[in-house]
A and B are shown apart, each in its own frame.
Chain A
Amino acid sequence: MRLHSGRGGSFRWRLIAQLLRPAPSWPLAGLRIGAGAIAIVQALGLLPHLDALVGPYGIVQHPVDQLFTVEWLPRFDPALNFLVSITGCLPETALRVLMIGYVALMMMLLAGCWTTSVKWLCWFAHLALKSTGAAGSYGVSEFLNILFFYLALSPCGEVWSIDAMRRRRHRRFSWESGLLLLTLRLHLCAIYLSSGIGKAVGPMWWNGESIWRALIRERAAIYFSWLVFVPWLAALMGWWTLLVETGYGAAVWFPRTRWVWIGMTLLLHAGIAVFLGLWLFSATMMLLNFCAWAPVLQRDWRTLRQRRANIDQKTRAISRRISRYWPVSIVSRKH
């Protein structure tokens, strides 16, 4: 057994111990609640135009829509056809029934009810919704898919859930949580690095044109037309975006830069929400960032407080020592 002997062995053990180090379960519960809420808001937003966006006779009909996705992914079509064939209802009605089922599943996930099976069903249902309306699915659907995948693998119902209340026993820390959060952090680093490099290869994020294009929309043109008089500001915003995205992968691993980078990333997504109107996408990214790094930031905060307490203690000790030897007369004369 090489694992037990030699220097390499001990390194491996340390690595395994590090990977399987228990982490708090609450970030996964936070992801569960956040993902459920975002999926419900998204579904409610789609509901008034469901037939046009997801229906078999929608803007992009299913045979064409299938060209935008992979064949073997789950879709709503079989369930839709099944419902129509057994009830004889219209496809539009069947689609609404399926959507109500989808929202109900998400509500169960949010509440943490039968989480062990519901989390898998939620991932499956979201994947089906995403691939059924594949032509219209954008960033938020992609990232919710990633989120549901992590949730399906995680013990996300251990705290803040009806399941936990029923059991009256909570696993507040678990090794699965530690491993999944670490994987999620690495995944986020890969995402931001990829996005940052993708932007940096073209000239438009360097000269401010991309910020100009992103901010100036037909409806919002009036609000940002002043940017033409301060092109350097648009360029600066572009550089800042590139810095945040490309630097994320390195900066978040060092305690000194972590706070700043997570803060800047959250600010970036808040800006995307407010100025580009991508509220759900930004909420998903902020949720992923917050829950992935919260335990580490919490640890950093504790360490910082501990350090401050130590410094205070040392300062007090030094001041006591000084006051012991300092001539009292001088001190009293000064005051």
Chain B
Amino acid sequence: MGNGYGFYAPRPGLPRRIVVRLYRPATQDWISETIDWGRGEAMLHVETMYHHFQEGDFLREYAASWAAWYFGRHPDAAVAVVEDQVWNLPSLRASRQRPRVQWVTMTLYSFARTDQPIAPEPEALLPDAAP
């Protein structure tokens, strides 16, 4: 309704998370990172941040910001792949058949640092190579 009072309206969103995969040229490996701060107030803020990925505006800049934060935590990383994932919870009726519930990647954003050589083997950067 646009006034900010419609919590969980018209429906609650599916659980989301951001997984960032970072490539380190020095060790030629990929590491995978996601935020897990328990269930406190800080995590609720992060979960709110996750849900901005379903809004259409300036997603590229938003994802770049996440990548930049992870680059700051891993100065040796040269490439960051930001994955917006959704927990594909089936509907109440479909859940009776006990389908497999898992995290599904909705969108990928990739970023590379310009001040670091990326990889000696370009095939290492293919999405399939990501763990």
**Which A residues have a C-beta under 8 Å from some C-beta of B?**
41-42, 45-46, 48-49, 52-53, 57-61, 64-65, 67-68, 133, 135-139, 142, 190-191, 194-195, 197-199, 201-202, 204-205, 207-210, 212-214, 216-219, 221, 225, 227-229, 231, 234, 277-278, 280
Q: Flag if B91 contacts A199 (CB, 8 Å).
A: no
Is the pair A135, B6 in contact by a Cβ cutoff of 8 Å? no
Q: How far is it, in angstroms, between the C-alpha of A204 and the C-alpha of B9 when the chains are bound?
A: 9
Closest chain A CB from B50 CB (angstroms): 10
Please state if B44 and A208 are interface contacts (CB–CB under 8 Å).
Answer: no
* Residues of B with C-beta under 8 A to A216: 89
Task: Establish whether residues B68 and A199, one from each chain, have CB atoms under 8 Å apart when the complex forms.
Answer: no
Q: For residue B91, which residues in chain A have a CB less than 8 angstroms away from its CB?
A: 209, 212
Tell me the bound Cα distance from A219 to B89 in angstroms: 13
Considering the chains assembled together, what is the distance between the CA atoms of A268 and B27 in angstroms?
52
A204 to B57, CA, bound (A): 26
Q: Chain B interface residue count: which class?
A: 35 or more
Contact A194 B1 (CB under 8 A): yes
| Contact partners of B58 in chain A: CB under 8 A | 64, 67
Report if A60-B5 is in contact (Cβ < 8 Å); known contacts: A138-B48, A210-B12, A212-B91: no
Residues of chain B contacted by A199 (CB below 8 angstroms): 6, 8-11
How long is the Cα–Cα vector from A197 to B2 in the complex, in angstroms? 12
With a cutoff of 8 Å between Cβ atoms, the chain B residues found around residue A41 in the complex are 41
A-B contact count (CB 8 A): 127
The answer to whether A64 and B11 touch (CB under 8 A), given A45-B40, A194-B5, is no
Task: Give bound CA distance, A67 to B63, whole Å.
Answer: 13
A190 to B65 CA separation, bound complex (whole angstroms)? 36
Residues of B within 8 A of A213 (CB): 11-14, 89
A212:B92 contact, CB within 8 angstroms: yes
Question: Mostly helix, strand, loop or mixed at chain B's interface?
Answer: loop
With known contacts A45-B40, A52-B69, A67-B58, A231–B12 Cβ distance under 8 A: no
Check B69–A205 contact: CB distance below 8 A: no
Q: Cβ of A139: which chain B residues have Cβ within 8 Å of it?
A: 7
Check if B100 is an interface residue, CB within 8 A of chain A. Answer: no
Most interface-central of B7, B48, B89 (chain A CB within 10 A): B7
Contacts of A234 on B, CB cut-off 8 Å?
92
In the assembled complex, the Cα of A46 lies from the Cα of B46 at a distance in Å of 11
B60 → chain A closest CB, angstroms? 10
Q: Is the CB of A204 within 8 A of B49?
A: no
CA gap between A195 and B9 in the complex, in Å: 7
Asked whether any CB of chain A lies closer than 8 Å to the CB of B42, the reply is yes
Q: Looking across the interface, which residue of chain A has its beta carbon closest to that of B11?
A: A204
Measured between beta carbons, the chain A residues less than 8 angstroms from B95 are: 212, 225, 228
In Å, the complex CA distance between A227 and B92 comes to 8
Measured between beta carbons, the chain A residues less than 8 angstroms from B35 are 59
